[in-house]
Amino acid sequence: MASKLLLEIVTPDRKVLSQEVEYLGAPGIEGEFGVLPNHIPFLSALGVGNLHYKDGGRNHYVFISGGFAEVGNNKVTVLAEVAEKAVEIDLDRARKAEEKAKARMAKAKDRIEAARAQAALQRAIARIGCKDASQKAG
Ligand code: ATP
């Protein structure tokens, strides 16, 4: 029985991560799911949130927005629309995006504008949470 699995995260323009991990948790559209070594084959669409993985007993965090995760053969492939390791997240930019999204929500003229602003707010809050969790993990 394998004690680790390979996690690969790619976006349309780059490879974000390729790493052996002990565990990972990811933001599926129907809720968070966890994967341990020797997991059964599995496919899930991804929402907006934070993927975290354990390596050497330490937790690491990656912001994910949309895409798919495929589990099989002790490998997890994440094809994300957008992904950033915590270290890559620009906290000031995320805070500004949060304020802008709140202002857009407050003056949205229709449901489409409100939904777009809400999605932007969700991305900003998740990026801030990713940075925070990573800093707390040390
Ligand atoms: P913003 O309003 O700041 O552009 P956004 O949520 O609209 O944020 P996305 O559409 O999710 O941005 O991403 C567009 C590109 O910008 C992606 O390549 C993404 O990795 C990058 N990006 C967005 N926000 C940040 C951030 N705070 N730190 C690092 N990269 C970011």
3-state secondary structure the chain: CCCCEEEEEEECCEEEEEEEECEEEEEECCEEEEECCCCCCEEEEEEEEEEEEEECCEEEEEEEEEEEEEEECCEEEEEEEEEEEHHHCCHHHHHHHHHHHHHHHHCCCCHHHHHHHHHHHHHHHHHHHHHHHHHHHC
Q: How many residues does the chain have?
A: 138
Domain co-membership, 69 together with 93: no
Positions of the chain with pLDDT lower than 50, given as ranges: none
How many Å lie between the centroid of ligand 1 and the Cα of residue 63?
10
- Backbone phi, psi, residue 131, to 5°: -65, -45
Question: Nearest residue CA, atom 1 of ligand 1?
Answer: 97
Domain co-membership, 23 together with 38: yes
d(CA 31, CA 9): 19
Domain co-membership, 21 together with 71: yes
Give me the pLDDT at residue 57, please.
84
Question: Is 0.75 surpassed by the pTM of this model?
Answer: yes
Domain co-membership, 94 together with 107: yes
Domain co-membership, 60 together with 119: no
Residue 97 in contact with ligand 1 by CB distance below 6 A? yes
Domain count, the chain: 2
Q: Which of 10, 82, 116 to mutate to test the pocket of ligand 1 (most atoms within 8 A of CB)?
A: 82
Domain co-membership, 14 together with 81: yes
Residue span of the structural domain in which 99 resides: 89-137
Give me the pLDDT at residue 126, please.
98
Question: Nearest residue CA, atom 10 of ligand 1?
Answer: 82
Domain co-membership, 58 together with 99: no
Domain co-membership, 77 together with 11: yes
Question: Nearest residue CA, atom 4 of ligand 1?
Answer: 97
